[in-house]
C-alpha cells in the first residue's frame, strides 16, 4: 500500500488529539515532537505538523491525503476538501464577546448598526454571522490575540474561539453570542478520497475505534 500523508495541527488541538492518535495506533505519533520536528517520515504514514489554520491548505493542494483541524477553521475556509469524521473531543465554541464595562450587547448592536467594528481571525465566519441578520460590519482581520482589539478600542467586539473562557475574563470581556460549536474534524483531499478510499478509510476506522474506547 502507498504511504498516506496526514497533516496535523500544532498547539492546543495537538494536546487533545495526540492520545487519540496513539490509541488508534497511527505510526509515528508516539515519537512526534511537533514543536521541533514538522515532518515524521514513516513507512506507512507520513506525519506533517502545521498551524491549525493551515491544515486545510495542505489537504486541498494534495500535499496531504488527510488532515485534522477544528471546525472553526473549516467554517472559515473549508471548501474543496471532504469532511470525513467528527472527533467529538476538544469541544470549543466560536463566539462574539464584548467589553463587560461597555454598553450591553443588544444596545451596542442597535447603536453601532452598520458601523459595528468586529475584530477576528475568522473574517468570513464573522461576516456571514452578521450578514444573517442583515448587517455588514467593518471586520478587522487579525492573526491572533484579538482580545487586544476590544481592550484598546480598535473594535467594538471580537469573534474568537472560547474554550475555558479564561482569556476573555482576563481581558474584561464577556461572551454574548455563540456562533458555532467547534470540535476537531478529519478531512481528506478530494482526489485521495476518490482514488485511495481503502487506505483513508482504514485510518478513519482506527480513529473511530479509538474514540469509542475513550468515550
Ligand atoms: C485561543 C483563542 C483565545 C483562547 C481561548 O487562542 O484565540 O485567545 O484560545 O481559550 P480559553 O477560553 O481557554 O482562554 P490561542 O491560544 O489558540 O492563540 P491565539 O491568540 O494566537 O489565537
CATH H superfamily, domain 4-90+182-214 = Periplasmic binding protein-like II (3.40.190.10)
Backbone angles phi, psi at 125, to 5 degrees: -60, -40
How many angstroms is it from 130 CA to the middle of ligand 1?
Answer: 22
Q: What pLDDT does 215 receive?
A: 62
In which residue ranges of the chain is CATH 3.40.190.10 found? Answer: 4-90+182-214, 92-181
165 Cβ closer than 6 Å to some ligand 1 atom: yes
Residue-level pLDDT, tens digit, the chain, 215 residues: 689 999 999 999 999 999 999 999 999 999 899 999 999 999 999 999 999 999 999 999 999 999 999 999 999 999 999 999 999 887 899 999 999 999 999 999 999 989 999 999 999 999 999 999 999 999 999 999 999 999 999 999 999 999 999 999 999 999 999 999 999 999 999 999 999 999 999 999 999 999 998 66
CATH superfamily of 92-181: Periplasmic binding protein-like II (3.40.190.10)
Do residues 130 and 116 lie in contact, with contact meaning Cβ atoms separated by under 8 Å? yes
The x, y and z cell numbers of residue 124, run together, are 468570513
Distance (angstroms) between ligand 1 centre and the Cα of 194 equals: 35
CB-CB contact of 38 with 6 (8 Å): no
- What pLDDT does residue 91 have? 83
Indicate which residue's Cα is closest to atom 21 of ligand 1.
144
Q: Say what the pLDDT of residue 32 is.
A: 95
CB of 164 sitting under 6 A from ligand 1: yes
Does residue 144 have its Cβ closer than 6 Å to ligand 1? yes
**The pLDDT value given to residue 101:** 95
Q: What are phi and psi of 99, to 5 degrees?
A: -65, 130
Q: Which residues pair with 120 in a beta bridge?
A: 141, 159
Tell me which of 10, 146, 160, 173 to substitute to probe ligand 1's pocket, judged by most ligand atoms within 8 Å of the beta carbon. 160
Query: Residue 119: its pLDDT value, please?
Result: 98
143 pocket-lining for ligand 1 (C-beta < 6 Å): no
User: Starting at the edge strand that comes first in sequence, how are the strands of the sheet with 81-99 ordered?
Assistant: 39-40, 45-50, 4-9, 66-70, 173-189, 81-99, 157-162, 117-120, 138-141
**Ligand 1 pocket test target in 161, 170, 178 with most atoms within 8 Å of CB:** 161
Question: Which residue owns the Cα nearest ligand 1 atom 16?
Answer: 12
The pTM score is 0.92
Q: What is the DSSP letter of 199?
A: H
Amino acid at each position: 500500500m502507498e504511504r498516506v500523508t496526514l497533516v496535523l495541527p500544532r498547539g492546543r488541538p495537538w494536546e487533545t488529539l495526540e492520545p487519540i492518535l496513539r490509541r488508534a495506533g497511527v505510526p509515528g505519533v508516539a515519537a512526534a515532537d511537533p514543536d521541533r520536528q514538522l515532518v515524521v517520515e514513516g513507512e506507512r504514514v507520513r506525519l506533517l505538523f502545521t498551524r491549525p489554520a493551515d491544515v486545510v491548505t495542505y489537504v486541498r493542494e494534495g500535499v496531504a491525503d488527510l488532515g485534522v483541524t477544528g471546525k472553526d477553521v473549516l467554517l472559515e475556509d473549508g471548501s474543496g476538501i471532504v469532511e470525513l469524521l467528527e472527533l467529538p473531543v476538544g469541544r470549543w465554541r466560536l463566539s462574539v464577546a464584548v467589553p463587560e464595562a461597555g454598553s450591553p450587547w443588544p444596545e451596542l448592536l442597535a447603536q453601532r448598526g452598520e458601523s459595528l467594528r468586529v475584530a477576528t481571525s475568522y473574517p468570513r465566519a464573522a461576516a456571514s454571522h452578521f450578514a444573517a441578520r442583515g448587517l455588514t460590519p467593518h471586520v478587522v482581520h487579525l492573526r491572533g490575540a484579538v482580545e487586544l482589539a476590544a481592550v484598546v478600542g480598535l473594535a467594538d467586539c471580537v469573534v474568537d474561539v472560547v474554550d475555558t473562557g479564561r482569556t476573555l475574563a482576563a481581558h474584561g470581556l464577556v461572551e454574548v453570542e455563540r456562533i458555532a460549536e467547534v470540535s476537531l474534524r478529519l478531512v481528506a483531499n478530494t482526489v485521495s478520497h476518490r482514488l485511495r478510499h481503502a487506505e483513508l478509510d482504514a485510518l478513519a476506522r482506527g480513529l473511530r475505534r479509538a474514540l469509542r474506547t475513550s468515550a
